Every structure is written in structure tokens, then in C-alpha cells.
Structure 1
Amino acid sequence: MEMSEQPRSRRQTRAAILGHLLQSGGMFRPPLAKAVRLSEASLSRILFDLKAEGLIEEVRRPAPYVGGPTGLVSLDNSVALAAIELTAQRLSVGVGGLSGELHYTERLPLPKTPTVESVGRVFHDALQLLQDWTRRRRVRLSQIGIAIPGLGRSSVSDNPIIPCDVRLTRGVLGEMFAGVPVEFTNSVVAHATFHRCRTEDYPFTGTHLFVFVGQGVAGAWMEDPIEADALLPVELGHMVFGEGGPRCRCGHQGCVEAYTSLPALAELLGVPEPELLHLGAEWVNAIPISSRVRQELRRRLFRLGLAIGNTLNVKPCPAVAISGWPSLLAEEDRKALVEGIDACLLGGRKFAGVSLAFVPPSNGNDPNAALAFAAFCLACRGGMPAASVEAA
């Protein structure tokens, strides 16, 4: 059923407008009205409210064509969002604007063998820094977005990847930042949001599967509308490919993640993981790969392709975006991944009509993904106070 056939609440209409502005970076009124299926008069009324609330601004720009519109509507950068991102090595905290620039960042290292208590202390230190910074500058936060690897429905207090107590952290946030909406998400959802809103020429606008290959391997179903439930994590990295394989951090052996994550890649290349992380995207040029290692690399990419293909067999989807170290490889090497997808999709990609695109890796630039997620959360509630969203 088309969205236009259903009555939209005020929140949904505002969310559609803010979502389009978030993904486009700014639009003239006529195309914006068309995109959100509103008359220009209705759009004007809502833009008036959004402007009065300090959520959007309109700047005069040269018209795109003679007699065309000159008011470019974009998100107001005076809105302050907090981003907190947990990775295998550290906890990053920052404050930034709706269009993605960070005004403040702090990175706190995690202990070598983290425990719930020690990670909790790092969280507390990070929140203290955030509170001090916002108080000193009299910054009022509109949203806090928190990205945690492996966060799932069952891991609210028991995270299998990095031990942390989400319930406890939520309580501390409630005390230190009373009244500020807070949302937690799985890291893959944050990275998917980051790419969709921040990657120039992101390949897909409709429904697709986003696959992230970093410290772990995970996916997210990306639905089209700007709705909080339009992004769902999928743990495809924990498909097991036979007994006796390498041990995965989830406790099983032979998971696709144990073969294709960044730690697994570092081991295969024979370099320490910190060195690989430090090289970033340059590792493809900096580290020589022997033909034996390249062969094994392609075997592993084929397995990753199988995992993606199996996921698509369970829930068919018209497109897949892959981000992470495989997107840095030459097409010759990436072919193995594509062959893996084809090997398990019924009849291959052409038959299933699946488009495939590689997007740049986004790991290592934390807390940018959490910041994009915070902006997405604000857009989803139409910029309305959290308490009034239910009533809208």
C-alpha cells in the first residue's frame, strides 16, 4: 500500500521532510514537496513550524533554472547532537551538527581485556567529559545516539562482543542528561545510516541489504521510509561454515566472521591488527600479498558471498551494498565474493534481479556513524520532543 494512500500523522509528515533533507543535504521547495507527496501550501505550513523550532533554515541560492525556486531548504546546523561509539579498541564520544560535522571529539582506550565493570567505567568517564563540555559551552543536546557492536534484542545487559551493561548506561544517561532523548543501536545500523546519509552518490535509495565488514561482519535491512523500524540488524557473520574452523568471538568455530573480519584479515596477511588499522585504506597498496595468500583471501571472500547469498535466500532483496575492506580490493579479487553470492541465490543474481555495489569502508572514523544515527533518530521523531511523539 502506498504511503500516500494512508493518512500520515504530523510526526510522520515532519519525519519524511527531515529525512529527505538529511539524505539530500538540502532541497528546493518544489522537489521537496513532490518527494514527500505534499502540496507546496501544506509544505510551507510545516516548514514554517520547523523553521520556528530551529530545525531547518532556508538560504537563497541561484535558481536551478530560469524562474525557478531560490530558497534552498536544509537542516539547521545549530542543532547539537551527541554521538557515542564503542569499537573493539576504544570508546569515542563527540558533539556535532545535523549535517555531520563534529565540533568536539574524545577517544578513550578500552582495557586490554574488557569486563562489564571496566567498560562501564570508561563509559562513565566519557559521559563526564561530554557533560563538562556541553555545560561549559552551554550547549543543549537534542539527541544522543549510541552505537554498540553486537547489540541485539537479547544482549541488553549481556553483550557477546564487548562486555557492557546497556541498562546501567541508560540509567546513568538519564541522570546526567535528563530530558535528552537517547537511542542505542547495533554498530552496523549506525554505519548503514552513515553511508545512506553521508556517502556522496550512495548507490541505493530503495530497500536493500547493507553489509559491513569490519571488526565483525554484520548486515542491516534498509527499508525505504524514514522510520525507526526501517533499519534492522542481521547477524549474517555468525553463519557457521563447518566444524574445526577458526574460533569466533561469539564462541562458535568456523563462523564467516572468523574468516573475514579485520582481525582475521590481519592474521592472514601476517601483520599485527593495530598496524592494519593504522594503515586504513592504504593497506591494499602497502602490504604485499603472495599468490598463496591471495588464493586464500579469495576463498574467504567466496564464503562471505555465500553468507550474503544465504541471507538473500531467506529474505529476498533487490540490492546489496557492501562496505569494509573488500570494497578496497581490485575487481579481480572481489569477483570471488560475487561468485559466492551467485552460488547460493536460486539461479544467481541475474535471475534474482539483485544489484550489487561496493561502498568505501567507514570504520576508524568514529564517532561519525553514531552521529549520523543520532541525526536519523531526530528525523524519525519529526524533531518533536520524545514525549509528544506518541501523541502525534
Structure 2
Amino acid sequence: MNTANHRLLRDINLSLVLQMIQEQAPISQRDLVQHTGLSPSTVFTLINQLHASDLIRECGYATSSGGRRPKLLEMNPEGGYFISVDLGGTKISVGVLDLVMHVRQQWVYSTPPEGGESVFQKLMEVISDTRQYCEDQAWKILGMGICTSGIVDCLNGVVIEADNLGWHDFPLAERLKAALGFVPVIEHDTNAAAYAEFVYGASRGQSNVVYVSIGTGIGAGLILNGRLFTGSNDMAGEIGHVTVEHGGPMCRCGKRGCLEAIASGPALARTYVQRSRATPGADGVDGKTVIALAEQKDAVSCEIVTDAGKKIGHTVGNLTNVLNLDTIVIGGGVMAAGDVMFSAIKEEILSVLLPRMRDKPHIVKASLGPSAGLVGVGALSLARMFNAVSLSDVGGWS
């Protein structure tokens, strides 16, 4: 075998062992041999290399079946760090995550309301400040990821449409490469949150998952057969633009009666204002306010939130029938406030599911909260490292 092929095989095996430790920790060398199919001597050599690079550490001993107790291995949280950015229409969140995706530091900035180029310049300022912070802490940065709202061509790094950012056919990857010298992981924010919940949160260990985000918009991220599914042009999961009411309210996409135009946060607020014009302060409410009022048993709010939840549940239930999903995770900013909408969603999903499917799907709330996007895009950055790991390159960058 020539040198190049030998190096490639070593890096593939190294990635395999590292990913197995990340997914199965704590795990012994013996179990790594069993799960990877590699020889004991190969696994021993790779473990030594990973130790030397500070990517893994020992964390105790396994039960012995005779002889010396085998040492257990896990990822070393301080062996490297990732910068994650969650780019939204009203705020930009940036976090520094360790090697096990714990958010070690986080900042939140206002998104420039004028949009367009000013958003990109703010993004670059945020990244620059965060890199400087990491340098001051002597933290080795292994990767970077950005998740963004809107319709995103992740393969080519183009934000096709993000009205709340003032971006249309914005060449984000190209601009980032020119400014940084490399292209970070770029992903849609809902997909990033779905991946976070799949790897570290409410749907961990499942194979076929839909994560539903209910906030300013409504979207879904899909995990199919254990892999993030984005469709042929990265637009899978746009359930917010499923028509649920013919001739209904106008949606920002240009159609009428979309789920998002009826059940998103702004839609809840708009409906509440229409039905409560005589209520003092009604014009100042938002979706979270309506949810909170429903939790307090306000009759108008309860009716609005329950109706919206049923429409979401009907849509998600049909999607579950089509894809035969095993887990449904409900998250997003609007969902964080209470149980009225969640109960309505769950009840409607169960009423829509085919009889033999009703006992199968777990219907749960998201567990990672507002940090899900940061964790998800960090985890995707880590996955990129798994797919292209070469210890000669794991020296960090600044």
C-alpha cells in the first residue's frame, strides 16, 4: 500500500474510533475493537494518537470479566472548541462549545434592523470578537458553524431567501471564505436544532424523527434512518407552507391559508388582537403572550391556541403517517411557555395517526431550549471533523 493510501486508511479508522467514543462513551478499548471491527493493535495505536492530541481521556474502569479491569474512554471536553452562531431576524447568538457540545460561553447581539450588508458586517464583528476571546483563553478552535433562518442552499452556502435578514440569493459561503479564508458549516436553523435534539436531546437514540419548530415561523427538521434529511434542494421540512385553510390568511410566501399564517407566533397574536379589540393592551401582544394567557385559562387565548395546536398536530400527524416516524419533538420559542398548545398538538396527532402507528411515536417537548441551534451547528461541525480528521490538522486555528 502506498503512503497516501495508508494515510487515508489511517484517517478513516481514526475518524471511526473517535466517532464511536463520542457516541458510546464511556467505552473500553475492548468494546471499540468489537464495535469497529478493527484489530486490537490498530485500536491501541489510534487511541494513543487521540490521547496525544488531547481529544479523548480516561474516565474510570469497566467491570472485569477476569484479569485487569479495562479502562474506559470518553471525549475530553477541553481537547478543543467550536464556535457556533445562530443568526436570526432579531438577534444573533454566538457560543463557544467544548468537545462534548456544552456551551462554555455565550453572547447575544441585536440583529441590525436595516438588514442586508449590515447583517453580514455584524456577523463578521461577532465572529472576530469570539475568536479573540478564544485566543485570550488559549482555547484551541477545531471548527465553526453558522445556522440561519430563511430558505438556505446549504450545499452551496447560499441564503436563497431570508426576509428578516434582508438577504436574497446571498452568497454566504463565498463571503465567509473571502473574509475568513475558510467556509464554516452552514445550516438552516431548524435543521440544526433537529440535529441537536437527535444527538444530545429529546430524540437521542431514535432513528426517524421530526423536530417541529413553532415561533415566528413554523418549520420542521427531519432525521431519517439516523441522518439529517434536507431533500433534493435543501427545502425538506417546510411544513409551515402546507395549506390548512383554503382561502385563509395571506402568508409571507404569497399563498393563502398556510399553517404558518394561522398557527405561528405572529398569527396567534394577530388573531388575538382581532378577537379582543376591546381589551386594553391587546395591540401590544405577541405569540408568547397569547400562549401565557392560555396557560392562565383566558377563554379567548385558550380557543386560539387550541385551534392552532390542532392544525399543527393534523399536519404533523399526516407527515408521521407518510414517513412512519418513531419520534416527534415539538420545540421553538412559542412552545417554551406552556402545555395548552402541546396538549392540543399531541391529541390531534394521535387522532390522525393510522391505528397501528398510534403506539409507536414518542411525542415529546424539545429539551435543549434556545441553545439548540448553537448545539446543533456545533455538532455538525464536529461531524465534519469526524469525516475529515487528520491529527496533523488538529492543531486549531485562530
Q: Give the TM-score, by structure 1 length.
A: 0.76
Alignment of 1:1-392 (within 5 A): 13-24=13-24, 26-54=26-54, 56-64=55-63, 68-112=69-113, 114-137=114-137, 139-153=139-153, 156-162=158-164, 163-164=166-167, 168-179=171-182, 182-199=184-201, 202=203, 204-224=205-225, 233-267=236-270, 272=284, 276=288, 288-324=296-332, 325-326=334-335, 329-330=338-339, 334-345=342-353, 347-348=354-355, 350-351=356-357, 354-360=360-366, 362-365=368-371, 367-382=374-389
SS at match of 1:83: strand
Q: Distance in 2 between matches of 1:259 and 1:385?
A: 53
SS at match of 2:187: strand
- Bigger CA drift: 218-227 or 78-87? 218-227
Higher relative contact order (CA 8 A, sep 6+): 1
Gaps of at least 5 residues in structure 2 are 1-7, 273-281, 394-398
* Residue 385 of structure 1, CA deviation: 8.2
Count of equivalent residues: 368
SS at match of 2:83: strand
Amino acid at match of 1:193: Y
2:152/2:160 contact within 8 Å kept: no
2:30/2:40 contact within 8 Å kept: yes
Q: Distance in 2 between matches of 1:166 and 1:156?
A: 6
Q: Distance in 2 between matches of 1:259 and 1:37?
A: 52
Q: Distance in 2 between matches of 1:268 and 1:103?
A: 40
Q: Distance in 2 between matches of 1:308 and 1:286?
A: 22
Residues 298, 116 of structure 1: alpha-carbon distance in 2 compared, 3 angstrom cutoff: same
Q: Distance in 2 between matches of 1:37 and 1:267?
A: 58
Residues 136, 255 of structure 1: alpha-carbon distance in 2 compared, 3 angstrom cutoff: same
Gaps of at least 5 residues in structure 1 are 1-7, 387-392
SS at match of 2:151: coil
Residues 75, 359 of structure 1: alpha-carbon distance in 2 compared, 3 angstrom cutoff: farther
Amino acid at match of 1:57: I
1:20/1:32 contact within 8 Å kept: yes
SS at match of 1:221: strand
Residues 297, 274 of structure 1: alpha-carbon distance in 2 compared, 3 angstrom cutoff: closer
* Residue 284 of structure 1, CA deviation: 5.0
Residues 228, 341 of structure 1: alpha-carbon distance in 2 compared, 3 angstrom cutoff: closer
Residues 286, 256 of structure 1: alpha-carbon distance in 2 compared, 3 angstrom cutoff: closer
* Residue 86 of structure 1, CA deviation: 0.8
SS at match of 1:295: helix
* Residue 35 of structure 1, CA deviation: 4.2
Q: Distance in 2 between matches of 1:205 and 1:13?
A: 25
Q: Distance in 2 between matches of 1:299 and 1:85?
A: 30
1:263/1:273 contact within 8 Å kept: no
1:13/1:382 contact within 8 Å kept: no
Higher Cα Rg, which structure: 2
Amino acid at match of 1:298: T
* Residue 78 of structure 1, CA deviation: 2.6
Q: Distance in 1 between matches of 2:132 and 2:203?
A: 36
2:326/2:360 contact within 8 Å kept: yes
Q: Distance in 2 between matches of 1:94 and 1:35?
A: 33
Q: Distance in 2 between matches of 1:261 and 1:139?
A: 40
CA RMSD, 1 decimal: 3.9
Amino acid at match of 1:158: I
1:29/1:73 contact within 8 Å kept: no
SS at match of 1:111: coil
Amino acid at match of 1:73: E
SS at match of 2:130: helix
- Bigger CA drift: 35-44 or 304-313? 35-44
Amino acid at match of 2:193: H
